[in-house]
Amino acid sequence: MVDNTLTEKVLLATGGYDHTIKLWHANTGVCNRSLTHLDSQVNALEITPDRQLLAAAGFQHIRMYDLNSSNPNPILNYEGISKNITGVGFHEDGKWMFTCGEDCSARVWDLRSRNLQCQRIFQTTAPITSICLHPNQGELILGDQSGLLHLWDLKTDHNEQLIPEVDASIQCVAIDSSANYVASVNNKGNCYLWSYNGNGTRLSPEHKMNAHRKYGLHCKFSPDSTLLVTTSADQSAFIWKTSDFSLKQELKDERQRWVWDTAFSNDSEHLLTASSDGMARLWNVESGNIEREYEGHQKSLTALAFCDPYS
């Protein structure tokens, strides 16, 4: 019997290469449900703002699962994409979904439409590795394998491009909740930060960090905008202070391997990580200690999604 209070609890979803998505009570470490994702690996996960659905991005499709039922199978399938979908997210009111992928395109999907077709497409010349939504809900920020950072204004359809580093693939992009900073990490382990200028419309270079010695994988700002986490193939997650870009904490475990995805708690005091050893971990940001491990997947974890009902 399904726990109908699942979305009232602190919820963690994890997925990767074992064709299973697991839903956990994050504060207890108990796995509540397992969902089937048979078609492919899971590249990205995101929970809708109303906490009713979970989106799973895979190869050629996005599957939507009902978080409040015992059904282990997807209830909606968004298809018509030729390659891997690498990123997924939602408008704050849940009106539309955005995705990006290796087919060199970003898409906007109207979730109120019954035809399950995308309404807008943004084309690039290289596979898109990452996408995030500006807090103003009107601009998408994308990074691609050619090293370009794209700023797509959804209202005017205007776009701008930045090249932080030549001959380096952008692996992840992020923007903080206050819209002060945009960050990217690349395959050389470097992290670039930009700040919005006075009128909030243009990005100016702010800082460069040689964050990791190996392949960079992921970056994300904390909800209070004071911290930035970067992860890498060097089996670590580094937490940086945004006040001066100094290193605050190194999160590392000898079993961890590549760290693919992260999520901060809403108080910015804890960090969840997903890594290639098939484990998700909950870290204390201040002490750097592991407080909980979520064990149960049989292969690499590449994606997680987290929500707190009290946010």
Over the stretch 20-70, which tens digit does the pLDDT of each residue have? Answer: 999 999 889 999 999 999 889 999 999 999 999 999 999 999 999 999 999
- pLDDT of amino acid 256: 74
Strand order in the sheet with 236-241: 216-221, 227-232, 236-241, 247-252
Residues 126 and 143: their CA atoms lie apart, in Å, by 9
Binned at pLDDT 50, 70 and 90, residue 4 comes out as very low
* Dihedral sign (CA 156, 132, 220, 192): negative
Give me the chain's average pLDDT, please.
92
* pLDDT band (50, 70, 90) for residue 2: very low
pTM for this entry:
0.93
